[in-house]
């Protein structure tokens, strides 16, 4: 119990308001936490696609490896000069109050100058897959950031629930009892004073 608490009806009212505000804050934080958990579950189902992507990557990789061997390392290097590189931009956005990254594709790689259509096809396929991997990486990062936020919110809600609210309730109870005691004392004092005043009037 905090020392130096002022015991008065005003303090009691003030404390009641404070407790109500803390409880409402806790509820809001719980609601935000639930929304973030829902978002995390949604992202989790997307992140689970990694296996499918990896399988697709393995099959494309086989083709790429064969191409690498058939063309030779310098052949692949010289062919890659003919491909215009892609352009990406990393931006930040807010998701339920959490700042998460987002990758925006400004330009796809352009293999139009490659003479071999199968090479062009391979590059397009590889880029599509790479883009999916980038999106997956962004979602994994989002999930990580959301999980961090959830754990932070959990700590806040727990401290409110287990520490601040019981403490305020205890203070409130203490003040209420003290205020009641005071009012009882007041009542008794008034009663005694009234009896004394009545006794004096009988004497007259």
Partner 1 sequence: MSIETYLAVKARGLKLRLLPREFYHTMLETPTLEESIKLLSRTEYRLTVERGVPSPDEIRCATLRTFINRVEELLIGINGAVADFVRSYSLGRVEMELLKELIRVLSAGHKYELFPCPNLSSLRVSLRLLSTLSSLEDVVQELGRLYDYKILVTAYNLYRDIGEEALLECGLEADYYDHCWNAANKVHATRRLKELLLIDSSSRWIYWLVLLKTRGIRAKILNQLLRHMVKGLDEDLFRWGIKSPLEELHIVIGFISRALEKAYRSSFPRGFLALERELGKVLYSYASHLLRLRPIDLSYTLACLLLHYFEANNVYRVLVGKIAEIPPEIIRQTLYL
Choose which of 4, 6, 45, 74 interacts with partner 1 (CB under 8 A): 74
Shortest CB 111 distance to partner 1, Å: 11
Shortest CB 31 distance to partner 1, Å: 51
Q: Which of the stretches 16-24, 86-94, 110-118, 169-177 binds partner 1 when contact is defined by CB under 8 A? A: 110-118
The verdict on 60 binding partner 1 (CB under 8 A) reads no
CB atoms near residue 155 (< 10 Å)? 10
Choose which of 59, 65, 151, 158 interacts with partner 1 (CB under 8 A): 65
Nearer to partner 1, 97 or 115 (CB): 115
Q: Which of the stretches 20-28, 30-38, 64-72, 134-142 binds partner 1 when contact is defined by CB under 8 A? A: 64-72
Nearer to partner 1, 74 or 89 (CB): 74
**Burial category of 169 from C-beta neighbours within 10 Å (exposed 0-12, middle 13-18, buried 19 and up):** middle
Q: Which of the stretches 7-15, 17-25, 116-124, 146-154 binds partner 1 when contact is defined by CB under 8 A? A: 116-124
Of the candidates 41, 42, 38, 26, the one whose C-alpha atom is nearest the C-alpha of residue 154 is 26
Choose which of 11, 53, 82, 95 interacts with partner 1 (CB under 8 A): 82
Structural element, H or E, at residue 4? none
The verdict on 121 binding partner 1 (CB under 8 A) reads yes
> What is the total count of residues that contact partner 1 (CB under 8 A)?
24
At which residue do the structure tokens 């990694």 appear? 50
Choose which of 11, 60, 119, 129 interacts with partner 1 (CB under 8 A): 119
CB atoms near residue 168 (< 10 Å)? 19
3-state SS track over 41-96? HHHHHHHCCHHHHHHHHHHHHHHHHHHHHHHCHHHHHHHHHCCECCEEEEEEEEEC
DSSP letters for 85-135:
PPEEEEEEEEETTEEEEEEEEEE--B-TT-S-HHHHHHHHHHHHHHHHHHH
The verdict on 113 binding partner 1 (CB under 8 A) reads yes
| Contact positions vs partner 1 (CB under 8 A) | 62, 65-70, 72-75, 77-79, 81-82, 113-119, 121
């Amino acid at each position: 119990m905090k020392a130096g608490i002022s015991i008065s009806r005003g303090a009691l009212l003030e404390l009641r308001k404070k407790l109500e505000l803390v409880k409402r804050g806790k509820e809001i934080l719980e609601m935000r936490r639930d929304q973030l958990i829902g978002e995390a579950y949604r992202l989790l189902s997307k992140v689970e696609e990694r296996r499918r992507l990896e399988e697709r990557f393995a099959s494309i990789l086989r083709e790429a490896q064969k191409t690498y061997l058939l063309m030779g390392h310098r052949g692949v290097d010289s062919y890659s000069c003919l491909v215009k590189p892609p352009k990406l931009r990393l931006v930040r956005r807010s998701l339920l109050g959490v700042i998460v990254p987002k990758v925006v594709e400004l330009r796809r790689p352009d293999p139009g100058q490659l003479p071999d259509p199968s090479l062009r096809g391979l590059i397009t396929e590889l880029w599509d897959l790479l883009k999916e991997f980038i999106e997956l990486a962004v979602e994994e990062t989002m999930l990580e950031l959301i999980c961090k936020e959830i754990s932070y919110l959990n700590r806040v809600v727990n401290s409110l629930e287990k520490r601040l609210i019981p403490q305020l309730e205890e203070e409130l109870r203490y003040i209420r009892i003290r205020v009641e005691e005071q009012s009882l004392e007041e009542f008794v004092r008034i009663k005694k004073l009234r009896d004394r005043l009545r006794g004096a009037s009988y004497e007259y």
